[in-house]
Amino acid sequence: MAGIAEKFTSLLARPSDETAPPDGAPWYLKYGVRVLGIVAAFFAMLFGLWNCLSIIFFSVGCLVSGVLQIFAGFIVMAVEAPFCCMFLEHAQVIARKADERPMWNRAALYCIIAIPPVIFCPGLGSIFGCGLIFATGVVYGMMSIGKKASLEEMRNNAQSQNSSGGITTSDKASIVNNAQPFSFTGAVGTDSNV
């Protein structure tokens, strides 16, 4: 079983993984988002082909959507799984350049290329296929933001802001000094006998 896991991680490993500095993302998130990207690319190409077949019903918008969806799926597959496109030199170049860029660039690319097919043909195939690509972009975006600080670091930061005259979190603090409490008794001057 360990041999299968090692072979799988070696397929998902990129040449730049050994030289890249650690970005703080856990290993399961790094490999999980790559698997999500590969699955998203596969379904985007599959449903893109389905949208292309809608030309039978004279739906040109869905044909354009299908072509864009197949193209988006190919880009995601080339970036996330260059071993699937090892017969294309350009795919290796695309994957290498994508690895050199910051993670938020990949997140923006995936989110942007997932939108036009849905606009051209807002069907279930477009929404599902491109939705997975968009979800991959969102996960990459969240990974680019980074890890949240520990509880102690957040407490120390909040205490240092309070002591330096910064933001206060006291319950007695008021935004407006002459604020009056709200009344829930009803409108003034109404007759209850009516």
Can you give the pLDDT of all 194 residues of the chain as single tens digits? 666 666 656 656 655 554 444 567 788 888 999 999 999 999 999 999 999 988 888 888 999 999 999 999 999 999 998 888 878 878 888 888 888 899 999 999 999 999 999 999 998 989 999 999 999 999 999 998 877 778 888 888 888 877 665 555 555 555 556 666 666 666 665 555 55
DSSP-derived secondary structure for the chain? -HHHHHHHHHHH--GGGTTSPP-S--HHHHHHHHHHHHHHHHHHHHHHHHHHGGGGGT-HHHHHHHHHHHHHHHHHHHHH-GGGGTT-HHHHHHHHHHHHS-HHHHHHHHHHHTHHHHHH--SHHHHHHHHHHHHHHHHHHHHHH-PPPPHHHHHHHHHHHHHTT-----TT--SSTTPPPP--S--TT--TT-
Q: What is the pLDDT of residue 43?
A: 96
Q: What is the pLDDT of residue 139?
A: 94
Question: How many angstroms separate the first and last alpha carbons of the chain?
Answer: 80
Of residues 70, 92, 72, 65, the one with CA closest to residue 137: 72
- The answer to whether the pTM exceeds 0.85 is no
Q: What is the pLDDT of residue 21?
A: 42
Q: What is the pLDDT of residue 20?
A: 45
- As a residue count, the chain comes to 194
Structure tokens at 121: 């043909």
**Cβ proximity of 137 and 110 under 8 Å:** yes
Structure tokens at 91: 């795919």
Q: What is the pLDDT of residue 42?
A: 95
Q: What is the pLDDT of residue 11?
A: 59
**Cβ proximity of 33 and 136 under 8 Å:** yes
